[in-house]
Amino acid sequence: MERDSQRVRRTREIEALRQEAAPALHGLCATLVESINRLVTRVRIELDPSEYTRDGPPRDVQVFQINVSGRVVQITFRPTETLTSAERFHLPYILEGAIRWYNQESLDREEVGEHHLFCCVEKETAGWYFLDPGSRRNGRLNQEYLVELMEKLV
């Protein structure tokens, strides 16, 4: 009985973290897009979707795209199949996906950059991390990292 109640409580905690993590990631992207749009006048950076509107925890694949004149940083993620996983990253994670970046030239060459994406459990919060599968470089997903990916497209 106690084990069951602990399992139910843990499931609720993870669902709550998932529910908070997705809009937090969208907010990070939105803040970056707004900041850059305030600084530039010749181009307009777009975030799709422009508003995060999902009700409840993510249950299927979600996609966010930052687009600058055909230069795209695409973020996709979904819940892990189990409540948490540590199969592909050194920290336990509750959402997993990828960050891809491309432009027309890279598509013509069939070269799309890709890093893995993980929403990791950190005590009672969740944080987003990336992993470059080639170099094994990893770190916190933040605005500087997203700018770095956008610069690769210029």
Q: Can you give the residue ranges of every domain in the chain?
A: 2-151
Q: Please report the pLDDT score of residue 138 as a whole number.
A: 97
Closest by CA to 93, choosing from 141, 134, 39, 50, is 141
What DSSP state is assigned to residue 135?
Answer: T
Residue 116 and residue 90 in contact, taking contact as beta carbons nearer than 8 Å: no
Residue with tokens 């600084």: 39
pLDDT beyond 60 at 119: yes
Question: In this structure, how many other beta carbons lie within 10 angstroms of the beta carbon of residue 40?
Answer: 10
Give the pLDDT confidence score for residue 144 in this predicted structure. Answer: 95
Task: Pick the more confident residue, 153 or 144.
Answer: 144
**Higher model confidence: residue 84 or residue 123?**
84
The yes-or-no verdict on residue 41 having pLDDT over 90 is: no
List the strands of the sheet with 93-102, edge to edge: 45-48, 62-68, 71-79, 93-102, 113-122, 125-131, 138-140
pTM: 0.90
Q: What is the mean pLDDT of residues 91-101?
A: 96
pLDDT in tens, 3-12: 888 889 999 9
